[in-house]
Amino acid sequence: MATSMIQPQLALLVINAGSSSIKFALFANETLAELVRGQIDGIGSAAAFRAKSPDRTIDEQLRWPLEVAPKDHSAALHFLIEWLGQTLVGVQVAAVGHRVVHGGSHYTEPVVINEAVLQELESIFALAPLHEPHNIAGIKGARAAFGDITQVACFDTAFHRTQSFINDTYALPRSLYLEGVRRYGFHGLSYEFIAGYLKEHFPERFSGKCIVAHLGNGASICAIENGQAASSTMGFSPLEGLPMGTRSGRIDPGVLLYLMQHKRWDAHQISDLLYKESGLKGLSGGLSNDMRTLEASDSTEAKEAIEYFVQHVQQEIASLAAIMRGVDTLVFTGGIGENSVLIRRRIMQGLEWLGLHVDETQNASGATVLSRAQSNILCLRIPTNEEGMIAQHTKKLATTDRGRD
């Protein structure tokens, strides 16, 4: 009598490796339904793990004693793989998708990772020194753990490669542009997801002039025309544009020259200032980089930090509308954009001159449509899903890659 073999459920693993963390999500291979997501924080020190499934049947938290905590990304991935195998019995990882912050000017779409791709990504470390090395460490750890299964790199810069030269460059000598000093833009996976959502649910808006505000601890805004990126507030690095949780946003380069020449600050001090001590945290006098904390505070510094943030969002929206010669749709996404009733209302109220009129009831309830019927601009609240976007790309490329075998 023949024994029947139970086929394992195939799944796609999405990894976003940071300097001391690994965010992950697991999706069913066929349906792309999310099975679980979570992260490991504090790698190399007091590490902690948490994971949750959409139906809450999995809801786990763990904090390691220092002496047994994962010491590097490889050890963290080893734990994650073992945990997935024990928790989701019968699930087999078929392919792995990685978020890679920077693809340089070469990569305009996701790619299957091989040695040549890895070498090229390592050659552009200088373009994203605080992010790219950790993304690559995650890739190498996953390749060591999973062997020959398909692994895919999805770039945060790729969506913006449709920008024109005018919106891709700085007013510097062209030789620097050719060397790679250009406006790459970031949060591209988020913008790509939102564009896809519009195409499916608001097709008449997909082909129009849309501005998407991805507002969170990292914040940027992108102009999307006919489904393609026209311009973005972020440029050469994730520092440009809006004030963020701890990042400065746009700043007069003369300030940096002053710090170098008169205060004798070195590159490390300036980097810490711009990436870790500025933005909402700096404006609030060190109170917090978290918008929720600032909204709950009665301090003058917190109120001024909020006002600064709101005004600069309005300013950048107006600037992007000018680039496209108009705007039909405004989308809020990201942690602040999706969750802060106050910030959305303040931003929209300051854009009434563009013909945008907020529906207070809809905004307060977190509805999808936030604008009134008579508004010239349709304003939407759409939760982003960068991990889901990576899963889509990974499934497509993994299928093609297997077809070549």
242 in the same domain as 307: yes
Asked if residue 256 and residue 133 are part of one domain, the reply reads: no
Q: Are residues 250 and 316 in the same domain?
A: yes
Confirm whether 401 is domain-assigned.
no
Answer yes or no: is 398 within a domain: no
Amino acid at 356: L
Whether pLDDT at 401 is above 80: no
Model confidence at 402, in pLDDT bands (50, 70, 90)? Answer: low
pLDDT score, position 200? 97
User: What digits encode the pLDDT tens for the residues 160-211?
Assistant: 999 999 999 999 999 999 999 999 999 999 999 999 999 999 999 999 999 9
Q: Taking 80 as the threshold, does the pLDDT of residue 240 lie above it?
A: yes
pLDDT of residue 18: 84
**More confident call, 253 vs 71:** 253
DSSP 245-257: SS---S--HHHHH
Among 138, 155, 172, the domain-final residue is 155
Q: Region 239-244: what's the mean pLDDT?
A: 97
Q: Is residue 107 part of a domain?
A: yes
Pair (287, 213) in one structural domain: yes
Residue 144 sits in the same domain as residue 207: no
pLDDT of 403: 57
116 and 261 housed in the same domain? no
CATH of the domain at 71: 3.30.420.40
Token code pair at residue 235: 């440029």
Mean pLDDT over the full length of the chain: 94
Q: How many domains does the chain have?
A: 2
Q: Which of 156, 298, 359, 401 is catalytic?
A: 156
Final residue before a domain boundary, out of 98, 122, 155: 155
Give yes or no: residues 364 and 221 share one domain.
Answer: yes
| Catalytic-residue membership of 359 | no
pLDDT recorded at residue 404: 61
pLDDT at 4: 41
Confidence of residue 131 (pLDDT cuts 50, 70, 90): confident
Nearest CA-CA partner of 121 in 147, 154, 91:
154
Does residue 218 sit in the same domain as residue 331? yes
What is the Cα–Cα distance from 237 to 234, expressed in whole angstroms? 7
Say if residue 1's pLDDT is above 50. Answer: no
Least confidently predicted of 5-9, 85-89, 190-194, 343-347: 5-9
Q: What is the DSSP letter of 159?
A: G
In a domain, 43, yes or no: yes
φ/ψ region of 228 (left if φ > 0, alpha if ψ in -120 to 50, else beta) reads beta
Band of residue 3 on the pLDDT scale cut at 50, 70, 90: very low
Taking only the tens place, the pLDDT of each residue in 327-346 is 999 999 999 999 999 999 99
* 384: confidence class by pLDDT, cuts 50, 70, 90: very high
Mind giving me the DSSP string for 22-81? EEEEEEETTT--EEEEEEEE-TTSS-EEEEE-TTSS-EEEEE--GGGS--SHHHHHHHHH
CA–CA gap between residue 209 and residue 223 (Å, rounded) = 7
Residue 363 in domain: yes
16 and 117 in one domain? yes
Helix (H, G, I), strand (E, B) or coil at 98: strand
pLDDT band at 7 (very low <50, low <70, confident <90, very high): low
Q: Is residue 167 part of a domain?
A: no
Cβ(19)–Cβ(104) below 8 Å: no
Q: What angle do CA 173, 274, 252 make, to 5 degrees?
A: 45
Give domain status of residue 302, yes or no.
yes
The boundaries of the domain holding residue 65 are 9-155
> Global pTM?
0.94
CA pair distance 215, 246, nearest whole angstrom? 13
56 part of a folded domain: yes
Same domain, 84 and 208: no
pLDDT tens for each residue of 288-317: 999 999 999 999 999 999 999 999 999 999
> Do 144 and 232 sit in the same domain of this protein?
no
**Per-residue pLDDT tens for 254-296?**
999 999 999 999 999 999 999 999 999 999 999 999 999 999 9
Based on the domain organization, do 259 and 136 belong to the same domain?
Answer: no
